[in-house]
Amino acid sequence: MSAAPPPRNRRPPPWEVVLLVSHRLDPKTLAVASCVCRSWLASMSSDSLWKPACASLFPSLSFLQSTEPALPYRRIYALSLAAARCRARAPAKPRLSLDDLVFVVDVRSEDLRITTVSKPGDEVAPDPNGLFRFDLGANEECSSAMEIMDHIRITWIVALRGWKAVFTMMECDGKASFIPGAEEWLSQELPSLGCCSSATASGLVADLKLGFSSNGVTGERIKVESVSVGILSVTSWRYASMDDGLRYLQNFLA
């Protein structure tokens, strides 16, 4: 009786090859391979393949399936990748420019107007460091009847040229020392983008400074020597860049 022929090497079926190979593929290759056919799409979309990639590259979002079990890890990976690219993308240049704006600051004590400063953006000297802060100047005399510490009402408005739109940056009460050399700082948190209620904070603060000086006649009159304005970040307490300030304003003005 002749010996049986040696068994030939069994060729695994295609789906088995796919499963064996898929665990060695990186996420980009997995995504490309899933476009070959429906069977490959089903094989390459397995949570067992995409869960390790999510846990390794985007651990902060890997928990999403626990809140939505029907959400596959392949989709979680795609969402995480898109979010990462969005964060890394440089923001677009603002459509507004400083020349498009008009700054208006009004300072009052009860019914008495202390000063009103209106300055077009093209007459404002840009900050040398590219920050959103400006000295609007001023040269308004105040009444000699002002107290050393008196209540004031501050309104700061930014308008679009031609008065096509206005946005109130600051509207608040405070106290001022009406003595030569004194400086008063006021600030108010700005609303979030797309919301006109200050209850939803933006992380930005409207900042305003008043400076006082005398007119050289002791005991008679003093004047507002300077009005400075800017936008500060709450987290760093540094002034926002010019582009960031303009991007913020264009959501309300443009």
Q: What is the pLDDT of residue 23?
A: 75
d(CA 228, CA 184): 10
d(CA 80, CA 61): 7
CATH number at residue 43: 1.20.1280
Q: Is residue 4 part of a domain?
A: no
60 shares its domain with 148: no
156 shares its domain with 206: yes
Q: Is residue 3 part of a domain?
A: no
The residue segments making up the domain with residue 120 are 98-253
d(CA 158, CA 190): 13
Task: Give the Å distances, CA to CA, from 134 to 59, 68, 213, 231.
Answer: 43, 49, 19, 10
| Residue 3 identity | A
224 shares its domain with 248: yes
Counted domains in the chain: 2
Task: Give the Å distances, CA to CA, from 39 to 16, 22, 35, 36, 197.
Answer: 11, 13, 10, 8, 52
Q: Is residue 41 part of a domain?
A: yes
Confidence tier at 64 by pLDDT (50, 70, 90): confident
Q: Tokens 């056919």 appear where?
A: 37
Q: What is the rounded average pLDDT for all residues in the chain?
A: 81
155 shares its domain with 234: yes
Q: Tokens 């106290």 appear where?
A: 175
The secondary structure element, H or E, covering residue 146 is: none
CB atoms within 10 A of CB 23: 11
Q: Is residue 105 part of a domain?
A: yes
For residue 4, pLDDT over 70 is answered with no
CB atoms within 10 A of CB 235: 8
For residue 250, pLDDT over 60 is answered with yes
Q: Is residue 6 part of a domain?
A: no
Q: Is residue 40 part of a domain?
A: yes
Which of 65, 88, 111 delimits the end of a domain? 88
191 shares its domain with 248: yes
Could you report the per-residue pLDDT of 136-183, keeping only the tens digit for each?
987 665 554 455 556 888 899 999 999 999 999 999 888 777 677 778
146 shares its domain with 239: yes
Which of 88, 115, 132 delimits the end of a domain? 88
148 shares its domain with 45: no
Which of 88, 109, 131 delimits the end of a domain? 88
Could you report the per-residue pLDDT of 194-231, keeping only the tens digit for each?
554 444 557 899 999 988 776 655 555 667 888 999 99
Q: Is residue 9 part of a domain?
A: no
d(CA 176, CA 185): 9
For residue 120, pLDDT over 70 is answered with yes
Q: Which two tokens stand for residue 197?
A: 């209620």
142 shares its domain with 209: yes
106 shares its domain with 64: no
114 shares its domain with 52: no
For residue 39, pLDDT over 70 is answered with yes
148 shares its domain with 116: yes
Higher pLDDT, 69 or 221: 69
